Amino acid sequence: MALRTVRSGSYSTELDAARSKNDDLRLEIAYLHKKMVEKCGLVLQNEWQTHLLSRRLWWTLTQSTGSVHLMVTG
């Protein structure tokens, strides 16, 4: 099963890009990213993917099924 991490960037940029491309999966991921920021109070810097991958959370898209997963580690 192929997995890929969501690219870094602000969720508003991700939402705009997904809307412009009419990309439902990408839009769903961007929406979940936005919700995580709102619920957890995370302030994601440009390098958010680098330090969060090595610490607490990362986003993956299961390409074969199109399902979206939020993974949080302790």
Domain regions of the chain by residue span = 3-72
Please, which pLDDT band fits residue 40 given cuts at 50, 70 and 90? low
pTM for the model: 0.32
pLDDT at 60: 46
Q: Is the pLDDT score of 61 beyond 50?
A: no
Residues 6 or more apart whose Cβ sits within 8 Å of residue 18? 24, 26, 27, 29, 30
pLDDT digits (tens, 9 = 90+) for 5-26: 444 445 556 666 666 666 666 6
Diameter of the chain measured on Cα atoms: 36
Residue 38 makes CB contacts below 8 A (sequence gap 6+) with none
Strand partners, 4: 61
- Token representation of residue 20: 């412009």
